[in-house]
Amino acid sequence: MKNEFGFAVYESIIGFSCVVMLCLTLLPFLQIFLLKVDDSRQKAAAWTVLYEQLQISRNTGLQSFSSIEREGVTYHVNWQTSSKLCVNYDANHGENKQECLQASNEGIHIH
């Protein structure tokens, strides 16, 4: 259907429509992927905060409560028992999450 001037208008519109439909189909998958990446980043930051607070506690001997803000997320660190350190934070989609470490004489256990 190509003539000496190029493609016809209706052929161009059909081709453009196919590209738009493909992009609109893939957009929800991209959004889900980006949410999972962000959740993983927040979880990694929570573990980093836990590790830092555990090191501070070991070095000073104090079990303190603190709130640390990183990249727009506030992490609340608290000791639930004398050997269990937890961090609570709000995920981007509104879910409250918690990561905990259990410290004992045998080592650290992840909960």
- Model confidence pLDDT, tens digit, residues 48-69: 988 888 888 888 877 777 888 8
pLDDT band, very low/low/confident/very high, at 95 (cuts 50, 70, 90) = confident
User: pLDDT averaged over the chain?
Assistant: 84
The tally of domains found in the chain comes to: 1
The answer to whether residue 104 is domain-embedded is yes
The answer to whether residue 15 is domain-embedded is no
Q: Which domain holds residue 66?
A: 38-110
pLDDT: is 22 or 110 the higher one?
22
The answer to whether residue 11 is domain-embedded is no
The neighbour count for residue 26, using CB atoms within 10 Å, is 10
For residues 10 and 73, what is the distance between their CA atoms, to the nearest angstrom?
A: 50
The answer to whether residue 55 is domain-embedded is yes
The answer to whether residue 44 is domain-embedded is yes
